[in-house]
Structures are given as C-alpha cells and as structure tokens.
Amino acid sequence: MHPCFDGSGGFGSYIFGMSEIIAKQSTEANNPQNIKNPQLSWMIGFLVVVSFLGLFSVVPLRKIMIIDFKLTYPSGTATAHLINSFHTPQGDGCGFNSFPTFGLKAYQNKFYFDFSATYVGVGMICPYIINASLLVGSILSWGIMWPLIAKKKGDWFPADIPASSLHGLQGYRVFIAIAMILGDGLYNFLKVLHRTLFGLFSQLRKKDKGDRTLPQGPNTYLVAIGGYVSIAVVSIIILPHIFHQLKWYYVLVIYIFAPILAFCNAYGCGLTDWSLASTYGKLAIFIIGAWAGSAHGGVIAGLAACGVMMNIVSTASDLMQDFKTGYMTLASPRSMFISQVIGTAMGCVISPCVFWLFYKAFHNLGVTGSEYPAPYATVYRNMAILGVEGFSSLPKDCLNLCYAFFAAAIAINLIRDLVGKKWSRFIPLPMAMAIPFYLGSYFAIDMCVGSVILFVWQKLNKAKADAFGPAVASGLICGDGIWTLPSSILALAGVNPPICMKFLSRTANAKVDGFLGS
C-alpha cells in the first residue's frame, strides 16, 4: 500500500491495480497465457466507469473536512507551501532504511527508524496527537499484541502456514485494523452527516446564504448527488459486461456504501496522510466474494469489486488533498475540481497504455521469479479465495477481537467528544492508532522524530519554528519525492548500489564468517 504522499496516488494505483486484477483472472482461469493478452479497450473502459465516482462522493464535505475539522492533509499542505514558495521572495532490505535502531528483535517487529525524510516531514506537519496516536497503536500492536498472539502458533492458528497467510497472524493484523478503521470512520461519518443535514435544514429555513454551519450550498449537494447517481447508473450497466461474475446488484451495493468508505479514507488521510484504499479494497473482496460464492465466480467478483472500491476511495482522498492545496494557495475550488476531472480522464487512458507497454516489453511480467513478479497479485487472489470460503476460516477468536476493537473505536471517539477539547487532546485517535496495526511501526517512529524536531525548535525559537516549520517539512517531503524519479529510472536500468549494508545477529554473523572462511 502506498501512502498519499508518495505521489503515485492515481496513475500508479491504476496501473498496479489493473495488473493485479488481470494476473488474478488469468490464474483463476488456469491459463497463464491470458496474463500476456489483456484487452486495452476494456481496461480503459473499466477505469472510465469507476474512476469519477470518488470525485463526487466527498465534494459536499470539503469545508467541514478542511475548515471545521482543520485536517492537515500533509501532502496537500506540502504542495501548497511548494507552490507558494514560487510566488514569494522567500523562498531492498539494504542500507540505512533497514537500520535496526532499537535492536534486531525490535526490527523484526517493525520497530526501527528508516531515515525517511518524507515521514519526518509529515511528522512535523501533523499535530502531536496524531503522531502520539500512531506510536500508541504501534506499541499496542507490534509491541504487545502480535508477539503474544505469535506465541499461540499451533493453537490459535496452524504452525505450518506462511507468514503472509490470512489464516495466521496476518489475519489478526488485517482484520483488527479494518475493524478499528471502520468503527472510527462510521462514527465520524454519522457525526458529520448529522451536522451537515442540520446545517442544510437551517439554511433552507432561514434562507441565510452566509450561514457557515453548512459546508456547501444546496446546489453543490445537487451537483454532487446528481453526478454520482448518473455515473453510478452507467457503471452498473457496463461493469457486468466487463466482468460477468460481477452482477449489477453487487455493483449497486458497492455504490451505496462507497461514499461512507470514501469519507473514512479522506478523513484518515487528512489526519495521517496515509491512504488506506487497499484496506477498503480488501473489505470489498471479502464481502462480494462471500456473497457471490465459489460456484458463481466469487474470486473474480471479489477482485473486480476490490478494483472498483479502491478507485473510488483513492480518488476521494486525492481530491481532498488537492482541495487543501487550493485552500492554502487561494485557488478556486471549482478549478481544482475541474483539474482533477481532467487529470482523472487522462489517467484512464495513459495508465492502461503504460501498463500495456510493460506487458509488451516484459513478457514474463507477473510470473513468479521474474524481474516484475507482481507479488500482490498472489496476495490479493488468496484474499479473494479466503472471502469465498467465508469468515469461518479466520484464525481463532479473530472475529471476536474485531468486534471488540470496532466497539472500542466508537467508545474512544464518544469519550473524546464528551470530555471536551481540554482533555480530548490527550486521548489517542482510533483511526491513527489502527494504521500501524497493519503497516508496522517504522513510519510512526519517523513521524515522532519529526514531532521531536519541531518541539525542540519551538522551545528554542517559537516564532521561527511556527513560520518556517511547515516550509522545512515541505522541503523534506518534496525532496524525498523528487528523488523517486531518478531512483526508479536507475532501478529500471538495472543499476544497483556499489555497496550493500546489512545487519545480522552475532550468531548469524559467526555462521556467515564460517561459511566465507570455508
């Protein structure tokens, strides 16, 4: 999964998402040759009918998310600082990214500092409570829960399954994280929905156009709802012709619940800068796959539903990032929305074409052991198979833990609202806590380092820290992002670093020395 700030949000997700779906389809059909002959036309058609829905799903909530909730959207903020600076006189498991900062045992549990300038910069932009919540979630999951559950191997889950299997420890990581995210997102969605409907009702009664309790005017809602419904109808008609296993009523159910999940993703992205589109895609895999069943192509239906859901929620968070940039650069929200529509339309054509070039240039693309094995294809296919088999195949007590953490997320949010702002700033946010449950702790530590840097800077010179802190953070994020392009070019050219640094335990090192000396 890629965070929002990696810059690949739309195009990259489309390319890899489509490669995964095609790879899974061909594997399901037991015909490896199919993976090398995708239909470019239906790839473009698929993206066209699903990629624009996310743009309309969160537009009415723009002011609530950015102005009322004051969500940071660090990538959008960093982009805004970069743009503003142009118009002011101010202007592979190798190396330090795998440095076992706290020891090898902690590194195995994903506790380490990976020297990422991006995460440090994001940590400087995010409020302290966000970074603290990430750290609390990291300690609770990777520091306490996962090591304890791992000791139950052979009892709670089979001892002979791979680490990536959802029948084992990975199942607890994925599903408990999803439960917390859904609990937090649902609570905040209902809160925003109540606030929005109340504001709309008040405005319609008072005819007061200057009432700021309403995030947008009635026309905005009508355009958003009309656009969403229109595209949804077209999509419901066309998608079953592209994936015949994906029935029209499956798509209808997806589109009924997609706005809620799009809000959850946009809200979480605003807090932490992480887009959890793949997590919501997994949810679609399990629900639609189980609904369809193995006898009616449940694996393909689940994977196609995953692609639909990922496109919607990913586009929603990307759009809100752009709205944040536009808000800080005084750009017109309408122009930002139109630009996003144009960019999405271009992506619907450009991404499949790039994908097609990869298929033609690398004939073994998607084959295990090749230069580009597309490993997530296998992972997602296994998830789809698990969804078809049903939740009864989950490891012991996993579903009960999911219920508990879902309820806990709602309860924590309720407590935060009841105690008021004075004390709520000391209570962790469930959405932020849930992210490291699945991803690990490394980025949370990086972001906390960013918080420490800003905190010390504010103690030394608060005026300069407040004035230049966001600009420094933006420089770290943008600089690290710009390096991605030459790094990718070097990787495609097969250029490897001249030296490699790895870290071994004393016992493993003695074995290596003995092997080399023999």
Task: Give the per-residue SS3 of 102-130.
Answer: CCHHHHHCCCCCCCCHHHHHHHHHCCHHH
Q: What is the DSSP string of 454-510?
A: HHHHHHH-HHHHHHHHHHHHHHHHHHHHHHHHHHHHHHHTT---S-------HHHHH
Helix (H, G, I), strand (E, B) or coil at 156: coil
Instruction: Tell which residue, 63, 100, 311, 79, has the closest CA to residue 196.
Output: 63
CA distance 128 to 135: 11
Size of the chain, expressed as the number of residues it contains: 518
Q: Hey, CA dihedral for 417, 421, 425, 426, is it positive or negative?
A: negative
Across the chain, what does the average pLDDT equal? Answer: 78
Q: Hey, CA dihedral for 375, 8, 277, 28, is it positive or negative?
A: negative
User: Please, which pLDDT band fits residue 371 given cuts at 50, 70 and 90?
Assistant: low
pLDDT over threshold 80, residue 7: no
According to DSSP H, which parts of 365-441 are helical?
375-389, 398-419, 421-424, 430-439
Q: For 311-328, what is each residue's pLDDT tens digit? A: 888 888 888 888 888 888
Instruction: Tell which residue, 92, 93, 19, 17, has the closest CA to residue 50.
Output: 17
Q: For the residues 278-285, what does the mean pLDDT come to?
A: 81
Range of lowest pLDDT (14-18, 146-150, 457-461): 14-18
> Which amino acid, residue 77?
T
Instruction: Tell which residue, 170, 179, 168, 185, has the closest CA to residue 438.
Output: 170
* 8 Å CB contact between 324 and 77: yes
pLDDT of residue 145: 92
pLDDT of residue 214: 41
pLDDT of residue 255: 93
* 8 Å CB contact between 204 and 431: no
Higher-confidence residue: 364 or 57?
Answer: 57
pLDDT of residue 442: 81
CA distance 470 to 78: 7
* 8 Å CB contact between 71 and 270: yes
Specify burial of residue 476 (Cβ count, 10 A radius: 0-12, 13-18, 19+): buried
Non-local (6+) Cβ contacts of 344 within 8 A are 10, 51, 52, 55, 315
Q: For 180-197, what is each residue's pLDDT tens digit? A: 888 887 887 778 777 666
CA distance 437 to 176: 8
Token match 């405005």: residue? 203
* 8 Å CB contact between 396 and 157: yes
Instruction: Tell which residue, 387, 321, 430, 297, has the closest CA to residue 10.
Output: 321
pLDDT of residue 82: 56
Higher-confidence residue: 12 or 138?
Answer: 138
User: Please, which pLDDT band fits residue 2 given cuts at 50, 70 and 90?
Assistant: very low
* 8 Å CB contact between 382 and 155: no
pLDDT over threshold 60, residue 37: no
Note the pTM of the prediction, 2 decimals. Answer: 0.68
Q: Name the strand (E) or helix (H) holding 364.
A: none
Non-local (6+) Cβ contacts of 500 within 8 A are 94, 95
Q: For 382-412, what is each residue's pLDDT tens digit? A: 677 777 877 677 788 888 999 999 999 999 9
CA distance 84 to 460: 26
Instruction: Tell which residue, 283, 313, 286, 299, has the closest CA to residue 246.
Output: 299
pLDDT over threshold 70, residue 25: no
Q: For 87-126, what is each residue's pLDDT tens digit? A: 454 446 566 666 777 777 777 777 777 777 888 888 888 8
pLDDT over threshold 90, residue 233: yes
pLDDT over threshold 60, residue 18: no
Neighbours of 186 (CB within 10 A): 18
Range of lowest pLDDT (45-54, 74-83, 406-415): 74-83
pLDDT of residue 230: 92
CA distance 455 to 145: 30
Percent of the chain surpassing pLDDT 90 = 13
Q: For 324-333, what is each residue's pLDDT tens digit? A: 888 888 888 8
Ramachandran category for residue 331: left, alpha or beta (phi over 0 → left; psi -120 to 50 → alpha): beta
